[in-house]
Structure 1
């Protein structure tokens, strides 16, 4: 029972985290490419970006000011700019490996171990390729991986 609950929570968290990472990454790109912005510009930009990537996860009715500044909770923006996207890159890679494992466990494990053996000696796209997955963040590929996660979550009941 606890294992089932933990699996469901993990998969649901993936589905919430990926859009938030996209929001934060896009927002910090906006911040650095618009150096003359002010607080009002920042609030408006965040609202637009959040609506694009994170729409539907939370209801901010009556909390508009808080919503416009919720990005401030993400300390990565202040402490390690442009690092947060790494979480999505790693998560999407893990999902793709898991998907491969569900399709062909032996081959997926072999490719995964081969990729691990490369360490940091190759560029990330080559490591992903060695693992049998794509280094691809296109809408179509991300949708494919998200659909896989949703299907696995649904199987859990």
Structure 2
């Protein structure tokens, strides 16, 4: 019998874990002097939407693509926001603090994969936020595994 390697989504605890993460994260964002202004018009559903997106990225259900507009919607949320390096760095800092606060797995393998995506994704969001950005023309989110993104963004 072949051994099943859990996805990062499964290892983290599935949808409930990502919902706890994003609720805690955006609670921190709302209180942060550097990030709060960027999110002042954030909808009440935004944390849940981000949880669904992260779930898909980490190997969970494809609900973000199927029900929320997928990669094109994700791009549209960052276009022309002109995210600055210090804002990106604070975003990373707060989501890592939120991961600790809600008890996401702390083993090195999980944290390495999680941080790798957070760094990669936040750098992409910052690049795509510039007024002259030429975003990728792919249709789907990158699915993140234990060490690398899947080929072709499947």
TM-score by length of 1: 0.27
Bigger-Rg structure (1/2): 1
The higher relative CO (CA closer than 8 Å, separation ≥ 6) is in 2
Structure that is richer in helix per residue: 1
